[in-house]
């Protein structure tokens, strides 16, 4: 299932793949302001909570960083339980007057879970271990699903190849890719 259309953010692509007990999360480096590229090598994927959780975000940078910090605070509160932390963040995000205005969506992964977390209150886990968000998310996810199904590539190889394909299709996605793996 792809969530990119529901989360129509221009300016980034985030892709997560879990295969053979390994997870890789990739994000492109392009930042745009309207129709102008203002940065080529932004880091939209990072590790939090003692490097045990990887998050990738699409949307307004300040909003995404705020949400990442709030997720990390929830992880501290709930002893690293990603599921509980993601649900609590989504609940706050949906009900808090200030947070509701934040324009971002994120993918968060640990060694056993992969979630899309949104301001709509969504905490969704993919059926097949592949998830893409952002403007190039559909293309990246489609490429990753094909590579997952028809090759023996590992998670890191899949996200790298799929992100290159997305960058060749989406004007809001570039080939300066950050990859984090668990």
Q: Residue 111 belongs to what domain range? A: 13-181
The count of other CB atoms within 10 Å of the CB of residue 47 is 13
Which tokens hold the place of 66?
Answer: 């705020």
Strand order in the sheet with 13-19: 130-134, 13-19, 22-28, 177-181
* Residues designated as active site: 12
Terminal C-alpha separation, the chain = 23
Q: Is residue 5 part of a domain?
A: no
Average pLDDT over residues 117-141: 91
Q: Is residue 45 part of a domain?
A: yes
Secondary structure (H, E, C), the chain? CCCCCCCCCCCCEEEEEEECCEEEEEEECCEEECCEEEECCCCCEEEECCCCEEEEEEECHHHHHHHHHHHHHHHHHCCCCHHHHHHHHHHHHHHCCCHHHCCEEEEEECCCCEEEEECCCCEECCCCCEEEEECCHHHHHHHHHHHHHHCCCCHHHHHHHHHHHHHHHCCCCCCCEEEEEC
Count up the domains in the chain and report the number: 1
Mind listing the pLDDT tens digit for each residue in 15-71? 999 999 999 999 998 887 777 888 888 888 999 999 999 999 988 777 778 888 999
Residue 31 sits in a domain whose CATH number is 3.60.20.10
Q: Is residue 18 part of a domain?
A: yes
Q: Is residue 1 part of a domain?
A: no
Mind listing the pLDDT tens digit for each residue in 85-128? 999 999 888 887 776 677 788 999 999 999 999 877 889 999 99
Q: Is residue 20 part of a domain?
A: yes
Residue-level pLDDT at 5:
41
Return the higher-pLDDT residue of 10 and 118.
118
Q: Is residue 26 part of a domain?
A: yes
Q: How far apart are alpha carbons 30 and 40 in whole angstroms?
A: 4
Q: Is residue 140 part of a domain?
A: yes
Which tokens hold the place of 67?
Answer: 């949400």
Q: Is residue 80 part of a domain?
A: yes
């Amino acid at each position: 299932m792809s969530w990119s259309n529901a989360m129509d953010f221009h300016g980034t692509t985030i892709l997560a793949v879990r295969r053979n007990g390994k997870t890789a999360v990739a994000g492109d480096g392009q930042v745009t302001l309207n129709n102008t590229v203002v940065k080529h090598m932004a880091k939209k994927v990072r590790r939090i909570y003692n490097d045990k959780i990887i998050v990738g975000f699409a949307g307004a940078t300040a909003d995404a960083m705020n949400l990442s910090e709030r997720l990390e605070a929830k992880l501290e509160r709930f002893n690293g339980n990603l599921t509980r932390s993601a649900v609590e963040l989504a609940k706050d995000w949906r009900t808090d007057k200030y947070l509701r205005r934040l324009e971002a969506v994120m993918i968060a992964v640990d060694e056993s879970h992969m979630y899309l977390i949104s301001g709509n209150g969504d905490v969704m886990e993919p059926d097949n271990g592949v998830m893409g968000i952002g403007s190039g998310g559909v293309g990246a996810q489609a490429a990753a699903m094909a590579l997952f199904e028809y090759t023996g590539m590992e998670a890191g190889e899949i996200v790298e190849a799929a992100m290159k394909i997305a960058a060749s299709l989406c004007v809001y996605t570039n080939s300066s890719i950050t990859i984090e793996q668990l």
